[in-house]
Structures are given as C-alpha cells and as structure tokens.
Structure 1
Amino acid sequence: MESLGSTRRSFAPWADPKAKPYIQIENLTKRFGDFTAVDDLTLTIYEREFFALLGASGCGKSTLLRMLGGFETPSAGRILLDGQDLRGIPPYKRPVNMMFQSYALFPHMSVEANVGFGLRQEGMPKGQIAERVAQMLKLVKLEQFAGRKPHQLSGGQRQRVALARSLAKRPKVLLLDEPLGALDKKLREETQFELMDLQHELGLTFVVVTHDQEEAMTMADRIAIMEKGNVLQVATPPEIYEAPNSRFVADFVGSINMFEGKLREKGSRGSRIVRADGLALSADAPADAVVGEKVWLAVRPEKMKVSSARPDNAVNTMEGEVWDIAYLGDMTIYYVKLDDGMVVKASTVNSLRRIGEELTWHDRAWVSFAPDAGVVLAR
C-alpha cells in the first residue's frame, strides 16, 4: 500500500478542472426564526477527501454538518452527494453516518453490541453482524474489550467504540462533530494520526467539524474557515497559514502580527507600506489594493527575528522593549513593545541546550523580518 504521506502529497482533485465534486453544497441556508445559522453557503468536497470545517462556536459549522447528515432541514439551497439530491431523504437512508461529540453510546450494552446496533436495526443476519463487528473492533484495536460496557473504558476507548459503530454500516461519507474534544491533549494528538490512517485505509470521505486549528491543520486535506454562517476561505493547510485572504483568517489560524499602514507602492516586485509613524515596510507579496488605501502587512511570529543589537543590513527593522517572555521548552516567545505602543510577537526555536536567555524583561530589543515573510491584506 502506498504510504499516507505520498498519497496526501499527490491528492489534489480540487486542482483538476475535470474532477467532479463528490459533495456539492449549493446556496445552502438554514434559519432558526430570525437567526441565520448558515447563510447562502456554496461548497464542494471531493471523494476520499479529509475535509475540515473550522471556526469558533456559533459560526454554523455543526449546523452545516447536521444538514449533511439529515438531522436538520435546509431553509433554502440543496446538497448533492455523488450527483443525488439529498432533499427529503431521512438520516437512516442516507449513505452517510455521523459520529457525535458525546459519542452517544448505550451504557447498558457491551462494546460489541454498541458497534453492531445499526446493523441489527437494518436487519442484517446475525452471522454477518458478528463478522462485521469483529472487523470494526480489529480496525480500532479494541478486540479484547468486546464484552465491556462503556463505563469500563477510558475516554479514548469510548471514542474508538463510537468510531467503530459509525464505520460499521460502511457509509460513503463519515461526519465527525468535534470527535476529539473529550480527549486529553496527548491522546488527542495520537488519535489525529489514527483517524488519518483509518480514513486512508478505508478510502472514505471524512468531513470533520472542529474549533481546534491544530487539529484541522494536522488532519485535513483542505480546510473551510467559517464565520457567521459563511465560508471565508477554502484551501489546504499550508495555503491557509501562509496565504490567508483576510485579517480574520490570518488571526484565527495561528498567531500573527498585523502592521497597519497606507499602501505607497505596488508592482510586480512587491509592495511598500508606510505606517502612521512614518516607518516604511517592504513586502515581496503583491497587494490587492489601490495605492493610498489602508492595508495590513501580516507576519507570523516565527518569521520575526529578535536581537539585542540592530541587525546589519536588515530591512523592516523596529526597536522596542521586551514586554513579556514565554519559555515553552522547544521555543521562546518574546513580546516586544515598540516605541509607538504596538506589541510584536516573535518566536525563536531553542535549538541549543542552555539555561538563561540573551534577552530578558525590559531590555531594549530589535525586531525585524525579511520582505518575503509577510502577506499584504486589504480586508
């Protein structure tokens, strides 16, 4: 079998104009009284894609997932799965299954009975149910826990039971609503890779809802950033991180420094932005704005350099005072308050084994970044 890494590296059907989307969401709207949870949303998802809906609580991502599963009826618009309009088709007749955040396991049933519940509801013969349940438990590495009840399992094990039950009916699409939210940080990180391996092995389409940006960045082939019922950007994790299309996306995914100013020059070689204090900043990135308009130069903390002396021949250089320091073991984050009051965040990797920092609180410091470090945003 081809490795997961090589498969994900070559998987990009959205870049092929001949590829047909597997899930088509067209002008979808959902209203609850006067509140619009999903607002005229259009989105395409491809077969075998691991797709993430990422956004803050209340942005509409879970409502969208529930409409995909048939648990909510759209107020307007439609959803097509492999060319079939899902309008009016109840959840139990859709080739889709949903794994809920609460797991919704039956406490009085064994693990084995929980996994086979949906198959019994469908009237599958007992022998086939036993065979399918055994396959699912082997897949999630829970064979030895088949006879236990949910309360006898850890949180991670209960999550695997819910996953096995969701997969037992062999859906074409698996919907996961905050699937790792109940797990501790270390187990959540381990389970992310297990879910990726499972999705690759089974060849299914996964659509996951999460508010955890690291979770989405790790697992998804593409991410849709949502706010107030709208999709702001759909792109691969590197594109979302390195080329956000707005200040909201840039700020929501990872940490960011926003240098506000007026666009003074733009051209094929890049842009020049002048801040209110007169400092000119250079960027290799193009600007989708008119000269004279307000823009923001967005720079990630790891692309900022911080030092006790002014760097030689450096562009985009500013002086300030070390306002705060966060030592995280693998890296140190410096918060430098510039002379105009703006606080800039710069992170450095602790590649050398040492105790003690070159810079400490209230030291004067210089921060700088290369012209190719940032992206110019007009909104």
Structure 2
Amino acid sequence: MAPKPAQKALGPIRRSFAPWLDPSAVPLIRFENVVKRFGEFTAVDDISIDIHSREFFSLLGPSGCGKTTLMRMLAGFEEPTSGRITLAGQDLAGTPPYRRPVNMMFQSYALFPHMTVEQNIGFGLKQEGMPKPEIAERVKDMLRLVKLDAFAARKPHQLSGGQRQRVALARSLAKKPKVLLLDEPLGALDKKLREETQFELMDLQMELGLTFLIVTHDQEEAMTMSDRIAVMNHGKLVQVATPGEIYEQPNSRYVADFIGDINLFETKVTGAADGRLTLACADASAELLAAGDAATPVGADVALAVRPEKVRISLEPPPATATNVLKGEIWDIAYLGDWSVFLVKLENSEKVVRVSRANMTRTEETPIAWDDKVFVHFAPDAGVLLTA
C-alpha cells in the first residue's frame, strides 16, 4: 500500500524557496551519519542533514543537545568521531578552520577593544595579506551593508550592543564565506532590538545570497528567520522541517511541547468514521473528536496536541454544533497586550488547558475574570495526533 501523503501545514511560508523538495537539487552542506563523542559522552549521535545553498537553516534545541558541537565540526574546531561532513562536494576531514570557506560569528562578538570599527572589520582581510586598497574598499562595502558608515572610527566601547553585533557580523562577512555560521548571535541583545535584528539578518542574507547556519535555543528566533529548522535533543535529530510544519505538524510530543505552547490530551482511540476518530480521554467529560482515519487502530494510545490559539473560550455555552466542548474554571490570566492567555482548570480533573485569545478591541462588555466558570471548545481538525 502506498504511504499516505503528509498533510500540508497551515503555517506561513517566508519565501518561495524550497530546494529540499527537488530530488535533483545538490545540497551545499551534507552531514552524513556524524557522531561526536567526548570520552564516554555522545554529544552528537548519528546525525544526517542536507543544507542547501542560500538557505537560512537553524539548529534548535535546549542547552547540551549537541547543536553547537555540530556547528563547530563544520567550522573545523572539532573533528567527528565518525561520519562525514562535506561542503560543495568536498570532504572537510583534515581541513583546518582557516582553509574552510566558512566564517563563524560568536555570541560574545570577540571584537578587539583597541581597534576601530573599520580595523575590526578589516582584520581578517589583513591577516590574509589582501592589498590595502582592496581592504579599504571591502570594509567600506561592509560598513554600508550594516549601516555603520558614520561609526567607522569609533572603538567598540563607544557602540551600543546592537551596533557591536553588526560590527561582528560585518567582520564575519568581509571574507565573503560560502557559509556564515552564527552561534547564538542575538543572545546579548534586549528583546526589542533582538526582534529588529532578526528581520535585518533575514534581509541581509537574501541580499547577499549566502547560506546562513544559526545555532539557537530561542524558538521564536528560529521560527522567525529560518527556511528550515532542525530540532535536536540529547544529540539526536528529532525533526527537520519548515517553521510552519514544525509548529502545525510536530512529529512527536517533544517537538510539540518544545516549540511554542501546547495542550496535550492523552487519549485512546475508540472508533473511526467519516475521516474522524473518537478518543477517550480521562480529563474530558465526553469523548473527543479528531481528524484522522482508520489507519490509526482502535485501542491505540495517542496524544491529541492542540495549540492554545485554536481553542475557543466563552462564558456562555457554545452552539450545539460545537465539538470537543469542555467545562472549567479560570485558574489564571495573563494579559500580554496583543494577546490574553487564560489557564482553565477542567471540571472534575486536574488538567489545565491553556487558551490564547487576541485582544481585538480595547474594551470588552463581559470580560472573563478569575474564578469564572467557562466553556472551552475546539474543532476536530484543530489538533494533531502524536504517537511518539
């Protein structure tokens, strides 16, 4: 029997660029069964990834998951215990870092405090022996690119955090690498500046046509900037997909829980009909309905994962046509300006459901308050079924 095609995610696509869907496309970077051990500890466990030219690719995961180690092996600062890493078809084994067509930008920026901005940017070019007129021209181009023309003569301590970050970026780009590696590049910036810089990096990457590989533990950062994301955990690759697919079609409880907020209902399949599954859930007063088919056997244990923004909440009972209706009590409320988040403790259960609602108006005639009795409900196709 032919495998069932994957359901398309509802998430947005940043740009019409998807070489990974073309079987004839040749990846720029290839990790093949890469393993890295430090003594008895396995930091990277049999990972294979293809990254394409001009792709903005993120390695995402918690601290200690192996993402930085994977990047450092590509940069040449670590050697794989086994497996192979190729770049543009060339096996990188034994190639020292300074001979690899990659450059790495570190979280600390590592700027020379005694040098000016232009001297910092041109340092690598000077080390390579590039003629002074060419260095001056390249540095001028980089200053224009990162919008720091007026700051060329300043020292790092005379710059803001965002400006120092752009100097480090310009220095990394000055040697025109095939691949730019960014290790938590925005971690030192405040939230507002970090958000602004994310869009600047996206625009810059597209303008230059370079391949960016970023390591981050910030889900929002990866979701905003990436063409694709590789989610890692304990040295293993868990899922590689676009941001929309990662969010809307996670392949496991781990991914669903790690990316954004999620409500997980542990259930058992009790029936299937008309493209829907009925699910028994100990935390619900009635059976739940989910989109699915008979390929999921009756009696199977599955988790129904539902994002908070796909759950509706009201003080009054929903229409009779509503599905997956649950009763509960407001346990807590977080007002975030653009969104309000409600934590609802379900009736006759310890289960707490998270509901996110956009604040579309400035005022509300009957606002939902603490301790209110409420109804929450969601459509059968609002969630995804997970077995892993």
8 Å CA contact 1:263, 1:294 repeated in 2:
yes
Query: For 1:121-200, what aligned pairs fall within 5 Å after superposition?
Result: 121-200=127-206
Distance 2:51 2:161 in 1: 30
Count of residue pairs the alignment pairs up: 374
The one-letter code matched in structure 2 to 1:251 is: D
The one-letter code matched in structure 2 to 1:148 is: R
**What residue in structure 2 maps to residue 245 of structure 1?**
251
Distance 1:326 1:62 in 2: 34
CA shift for structure 1 position 377:
0.4
Query: For 1:1-379, what aligned pairs fall within 5 Å after superposition?
Result: 8-266=14-272, 269-276=275-282, 279-285=286-292, 289-312=296-319, 313-339=321-347, 340-354=349-363, 358-379=367-388
CA shift for structure 1 position 144:
1.0
8 Å CA contact 1:289, 1:378 repeated in 2:
no
CA shift for structure 1 position 310:
1.5
SS of aligned partner of 1:141 = coil
Inter-CA distance 218–285: structure 2 relative to 1 (3 Å threshold): farther
CA shift for structure 1 position 372:
1.1
Distance 2:41 2:211 in 1: 30
Inter-CA distance 361–287: structure 2 relative to 1 (3 Å threshold): farther
8 Å CA contact 1:40, 1:230 repeated in 2:
yes
Inter-CA distance 287–161: structure 2 relative to 1 (3 Å threshold): farther
CA shift for structure 1 position 182:
0.4
Percent identity, aligned pairs only, is 66
What is the CA deviation profile of residues 268-304 of structure 1, one whole-angstrom value per residue up to 9, with x for unaligned ones? 7132211125621111145874321211100000000
Of 62-71 and 284-293, deviating more is 284-293
Distance 2:57 2:245 in 1: 14
8 Å CA contact 2:67, 2:232 repeated in 1:
yes
SS of aligned partner of 2:353 = strand
SS of aligned partner of 2:170 = helix
What is the CA deviation profile of residues 249-276 of structure 1, one whole-angstrom value per residue up to 9, with x for unaligned ones? 0010010000111012246713221112
Distance 1:287 1:254 in 2: 30
8 Å CA contact 1:286, 1:376 repeated in 2:
no
Unaligned runs of 5+ in 2: 1-11
Inter-CA distance 267–18: structure 2 relative to 1 (3 Å threshold): farther
8 Å CA contact 2:13, 2:244 repeated in 1:
no
CA shift for structure 1 position 54:
0.6
CA shift for structure 1 position 7:
10
SS of aligned partner of 2:172 = helix
8 Å CA contact 2:34, 2:80 repeated in 1:
yes
Please report the TM-score for the alignment, with normalisation by the length of structure 1. Answer: 0.96
Of 273-282 and 8-17, deviating more is 273-282
Distance 1:154 1:95 in 2: 30
CA shift for structure 1 position 357:
5.4
Distance 1:18 1:8 in 2: 23
Distance 2:186 2:326 in 1: 41
Inter-CA distance 135–192: structure 2 relative to 1 (3 Å threshold): same
8 Å CA contact 1:288, 1:378 repeated in 2:
no
SS of aligned partner of 2:250 = coil
SS of aligned partner of 1:59 = coil
Distance 1:211 1:136 in 2: 28
CA shift for structure 1 position 100:
0.6
8 Å CA contact 2:266, 2:281 repeated in 1:
yes
Inter-CA distance 282–26: structure 2 relative to 1 (3 Å threshold): same
Distance 1:209 1:355 in 2: 42
Inter-CA distance 280–355: structure 2 relative to 1 (3 Å threshold): closer
CA shift for structure 1 position 88:
0.5
Unaligned runs of 5+ in 1: 1-5
Please report the TM-score for the alignment, with normalisation by the length of structure 2. Answer: 0.94
Distance 2:32 2:240 in 1: 15
SS of aligned partner of 2:135 = helix
CA shift for structure 1 position 225:
0.4
The one-letter code matched in structure 2 to 1:298 is: A
Inter-CA distance 87–39: structure 2 relative to 1 (3 Å threshold): same
CA shift for structure 1 position 355:
5.8
SS of aligned partner of 2:187 = coil
Inter-CA distance 219–59: structure 2 relative to 1 (3 Å threshold): same
